Structures are given as structure tokens and as C-alpha cells.
Amino acid sequence: MYIPNEFEITDKTIINAFIDNNPFAILTSCNNGKIEVTHIPILRLSDGKLYGHVSKQNNHSCIEEKNEVCCVFSGDDAYISPRYYESEFNVPTWNYSAVHIYGKLKYIDEKERVWSLLEKSTEFFEEKNGWKLPQNDKYKALVEFIRFFEIDVTHTEAKFKLSQNKPDKDIEKVVISLKTNNQNEMAKLMEKYKDKK
């Protein structure tokens, strides 16, 4: 990913929080000369590792573990019009936030561990008082149809393009314009990182 210095994020705490808040990812790989793309949640569980699972019919259930994969996590984004700026010479652009995780898949096939990861994944979204996986054979049979994996992370890239390369007066005007257009999440993100230029 092309990352100018102004937009690069290296703080692991920020990156981990971003993944936790935007777990629906795009998993990509090249397998036997073919690019594979899968849209799935990839979760950072309590042990700090990243996990996901796919149907055994999905090509990502059987790629070679030596092959590199990339997981793309996307956050808020917004079109930025030249009219949003205070200064005069500007062009249209797009503000966005993204994290790329590179690594290799390590498949998990032990049934008890797969069931445990299914429970933890469900709790991640349902939280402690939400729906829980029933402890019966019908549900436990589901482990036969899915394949869990852990991502052995080799490299991380994070880019928050939030107009940090612009003067403060322009950033402030863009934030106001975004709020006027009800694009409040991007406006909040820009305000949060304005002082970290």
C-alpha cells in the first residue's frame, strides 16, 4: 500500500483497536496462479491473535500454508470536494482509513478447538449476554463444514488519510463540511487525528 509519511499509523494500540472496530475484512491470496478474494470477519481474540473461518467449499479453506495472504480492514471513508477547503488551489480526493495485515494461514482442524473458537467468535459480536451457541449435536456438527485458521502475521501496514497534509484552516473547514453533510464519523476521525500531524 502506498503510504505517504503524513498518513502512516504505526501505533499498535491504534491498529488493534481499528481491527476490533472494523472486523469485516477482505482476505486475499494467490493460489495456483489465481487470485482468491473472500469477504469474512477476521477477529483479534483475547490471546491477541487473528482468527477467521470459511466454508470448506471456499478455496481459502485449502490454500498452501506457505502462500502469503493479505487481509484488508477498512474504516470510514468520504469524498472530499475542493469546495470543502478554505484555501483555493485543491483537487477532489477521498479520505479513508485502512489496515493491511500480511501473513500466512495456519489451519486449525482439532474439533474441540474449532468449537471453542466458534463460541469465542459468537461472543465477540453477541457480547456476554447475547445469543450463545447451543451445546447440542446439531450445532456441534457444523464444525465438519467449516475450516478455522489463525493468521501468522509477518507485516502490518496502516494508513489513515485524513487531510493531515493540509493546513489547520483547511482541516477545520473540511470537518465542518462533512458535519453539514451528516458524515459525522469521518469528521470525528479527522478531529481525533488533527493534532497528531
Sheet with strand 50-55: strands edge to edge: 34-41, 24-31, 68-80, 93-108, 146-161, 50-55, 43-44
| Structural domain includes residue 21 | yes
At 86, which CATH number? 2.30.110.10
Distance CA 90, CA 197 (A): 19
| Structural domain includes residue 194 | no
**Which pLDDT does position 196 carry in this prediction?**
64
More confident residue, 197 or 65: 65
Q: Which amino acid is at 13?
A: T
Q: What is the mean pLDDT of residues 87-99?
A: 95
| Structural domain includes residue 88 | yes
117 class by beta-carbon count within 10 Å (0-12 exposed, 13-18 middle, 19+ buried) = buried
- pTM given for the model: 0.92
- Domain span at 124: 5-189
Assign 131 a pLDDT band (cuts: 50, 70, 90). Answer: very high
| Structural domain includes residue 197 | no
**Which pLDDT does position 180 carry in this prediction?**
96
| Structural domain includes residue 196 | no
Q: How many domains does the chain have?
A: 1
At residue 48's C-alpha, the angle toward residues 43 and 54, to 5°, is 30
pLDDT for residue 177 is more than 70? yes
More confident residue, 32 or 101: 101
Cell numbers 488551489 correspond to 89
pLDDT for residue 6 is more than 90? yes
Percentage of residues of the chain with pLDDT beyond 90? 93
